Amino acid sequence: MDPILQEIYSTIIPSAPYIIAAYALLWAALLVYVLFVVKGLKRSEKRMELLEAAIAKKSE
Residue 11 predicted with pLDDT over 90: no
Residue 52 predicted with pLDDT over 80: yes
pTM: 0.68
Average pLDDT of the chain to the nearest whole number: 92
pLDDT score recorded for residue 56: 93
CA atoms within 13 A on the CB side of 1: 8
In total, the chain counts a number of residues equal to 60
Cα 54 from Cα 2, distance rounded (Å): 75
